[in-house]
Chains A and B, each alone.
Chain A
Amino acid sequence: MDPHPISIYSRLTSALGSGLVALSLCAATTPALTQTDKAVKIGVLLGFTGPIESLIPPMADSADLAFKQVSDSGQFLDGKTIESVRADSTCIDAGAATAAAERLVTSEKVVAILGADCSGVTIAVANNVAVPKGIALISPSATSPALSTIDDDGLFFRTSPSDARQGKVLAQVIKERGYDTIAITYTKNDYGKGLSESLQAGFEALGGTVAISTAHEDGKGDYTAEVAELAEAGSDLLVVLGYADQGGIGIVRAALDTGAFEIFGLGDAMYSPTVLDSIKADGNDLTGSFGTVPGNEGEGVDAFQEIVTPVGLDGQGPFTGESYDAAALMALAMQRGGEATSEAIAANMIAVANAPGEKILPGQLDKALKILAAGGEVDYVGVTNVELVGPGEAAGSYREYEVQGDEFKTVRFR
């Protein structure tokens, strides 16, 4: 057999890759190796690299915090522990995400996967790995409406609401602020397309006009041309449904530089301090721009703050609460089913998330585990007031925010 140079290359890299994986595994799982029968492996498949890499570390840490609380309680499935295995979904590369999920299932033998983060890769992982292999997939942040209707065999859940709802809420916010004609630009993927379509439908239903709605490609150096196109259509407000580390901020920057727009409507993925910092570093000002992000207030949020502050985690970051809730729900569902399997998660997810039962706040996981072990019922409230509806997705409430100076101010919850 004539070894083709490319195949040598791929063999080399895969050998190198598996070597690295083995190495990192050794480092990460040394304590677990001594108690393999007690550790339940759960994959954490999030975009550690890629367009939302700045949002991911707090999300993954929040999930790990929940797993740690479950492990430390000693109540989980008669004293078992949960060990999370991280993998990179890249947020945009469906092939890479599928491969990473495949690795989690076949070589890491995870029981279930928490992830993925972005809608496109989540759909790919659900279709190519989770459903064929019967693995439960719980996403903290995939919000595309398309995920409500995929053929998931009851294995897919999400603790974030569908964008079908965010679009409506954002449309309402825009309309109430007195804008009648808007331009929309969205990141060219399932998330952007889904959200832009629901926003357009919602805004037109309220009697508004969408002058132009175009997609933008991520990862370009310059967005002046895209902004010119949006500005030509003639509208008062530019709604940017893009990513904070990518095209979204590029569009905002180019629009401010060329004076095409001054006020922006922003989607949830733009809710990131990096946006404010870098716009401020340009000498521009985003004051007056506004948007929506999944979030809520109440006991859950306060309780979450109390448990994250001591460990130095930022509990305010987008989707951190959702990540914690997703992790907690997976553990509780397994506890209710009495076994560490995907079937147990799929069968008991809704039961532990919704009424009836004892209300459970973040930090009370040991209490919930005890109740479930005794055969009782819990209604996990969590950080985000989780209520799973329809095909297993959060009903969701949204925070309306506005930029004032160099911070995001919460206007109200909807």
Chain B
Amino acid sequence: MEPPPHPSPVDSNVVDTQAVDTKAETKRPPAPWRRPLWIAVGVALGLAVLSMVSRDGGGIDLLNALVRFANFVVIPGISYGCQLGLGALGVTLIYAVMRFSDFAHADTMAFGAMGVILATRVLQGMGISAGPLPTALLALPFGILGAVTLALVFDRAVYRFYRRQRAAPVTFVIASIGAMFVTNGLVRLIIGPGDQRFADGDRFIIRVQTFKEMTGLSEGLALRTTHVITLVVAVMVVLGLFVFLNRTPLGKAMRAYADNEDLALLSGINPERVALWTWIIAATLATIAGTLYGLDKSFKPFTYFQLLLPIFASAIVGGIGKPLGAIAGGFVVAFSEIAFTYPYRKILGYLGFETDSLVQLLSTDYKFAVCFIILVVVLIWRPRGIFQGRVI
């Protein structure tokens, strides 16, 4: 569980990426083989597409297959991936700076989203809305304020004590489990254990029926407002975070503190200030992730509690301590969960492979199992994740 003495936990674009490249170089096929390999793959794919399109109505069938795939796999996968990625970003940040896995993070997401819901209700009551966009976007600052307050209270009341004791990471982890239960209880106490729907504004950008009429295809595609909002907000937040970590003095201080605590302290970085800002950023990320998830799906305290596993899987797959890894990990986990449990029967039917079986790798009951499998596989064969984060 102990991290190695001098790892580089936060992604410092310049130095680290090169290091990763040279390491990764050794595992890929030797350079002269790469181009023919890609050409061969390209030709094979081209031939496959050609043979399908040349059948009767093949072009339309191929489009239908693509639309169906987009409707049930790609679009849900992208928005779920963004939500997981934002969640994992917070976990990874806390791990990098505070050096422990924050089990309370999923519940912080619920707490933040709860604040947003309550503020949304107030705004709606005052007749304020964001037009076609959900009112929740306006309420976001209030939710963030709530979650940040909660995180800082926990930091002052619990984590600071252990930080001064220089307690082992496992002590922090156990303390965070305590924080998880407290947060969990608070959320249920304040807003109740039930389902909350707070999405308003226009629900759809493209409806299935409209899409069918527009294109004349037999498969429809639904694009919900929340899908687009999730993607746009996630991209903005991630860009903002990267600029912060790489360009601002405070971001650099955080990375330095994450890299080597002793050296950072010697060079005059105030650890309390770093901790303060880490919690503020992590709680902000958690609230945004929680709100996007709640808008897109639905808010229920227990569902958020269950998000903990995929979020940790994402952070670890990406390489814990690596912000870029958290995003990549989020997409890997989201797409694996969906793609492994999706039945491909109709899509294959469109492509000319009629079959009676559902062509489903795993039943949807095993969604969680996919997370576990990914975790086990990664921890055995690539313990530092895609982006070579820390070993935990």
Contacts and interface: CB of A to CB of B under 8 A. Distances in A.
Contact of A232 (B195, B296, B300, B343): B343
Contact of A228 (B194, B203, B337, B342): B342
Contact of A225 (B197, B203, B306, B367): B367
A195 B364 CA distance: 21
Contacts of B303: 219-221
B19 to A, nearest CB: 38
A259 B298 contact: no
B209 interface: yes
Contacts of A217: 365
A224 B224 CA distance: 13
Residue of B71, B338, B364 with most partner-chain A CB within 10 A? B364
B350 interface: no
Q: How large is the interface on A (under 10, 10 to 19, 20 to 34, 35 or more residues)?
A: 20 to 34
Contacts of B204: 283
A50 B13 CA distance: 48
Contact of B71 (A219, A258, A281, A282): A258
Contacts of A222: 76, 80, 296-298
Contacts of A228: 72, 342-343
A283 B360 CA distance: 31
B200 to A, nearest CB: 8
B197 A281 contact: yes
A229 interface: yes
A220 B208 CA distance: 23
Given A225-B364, A233-B358, A258-B208, A219 B300 contact: yes
B252 interface: no
Contacts of A214: 363-364
B54 to A, nearest CB: 26
Given A228-B343, A232-B343, A245 B360 contact: no
A164 to B, nearest CB: 26
Nearest to A282: B203
Given A222-B76, A224-B72, A225-B367, A257 B298 contact: no
A278 interface: yes
Nearest to B343: A232
B222 interface: yes
Contacts of B193: 49
A229 B222 contact: no
Contacts of B208: 258-259
A259 B364 contact: no
A358 interface: no
Given A221-B303, A224-B76, A229 B360 contact: yes
A232 B358 contact: yes
B310 to A, nearest CB: 11
A278 B297 contact: no
A282 B207 CA distance: 12
B346 interface: yes
A222 B364 CA distance: 11
Contacts of B337: 225
Nearest to A224: B76
A314 interface: no
A53 interface: yes
Contacts of A220: 303, 306
13 contacts: A49-B193, A53-B194, A215-B365, A217-B365, A219-B300, A221-B298, A224-B72, A228-B342, A228-B343, A229-B364, A233-B358, A246-B195, A278-B197
Interface of B: 71-72, 76, 80, 193-195, 197, 202-204, 207-209, 212, 220, 222, 224, 293, 296-298, 300, 302-303, 306, 337-338, 341-346, 358, 360, 363-365, 367
Given A221-B303, A222-B80, 5 more contacts: A224-B76, A229-B358, A231-B346, A257-B222, A259-B212
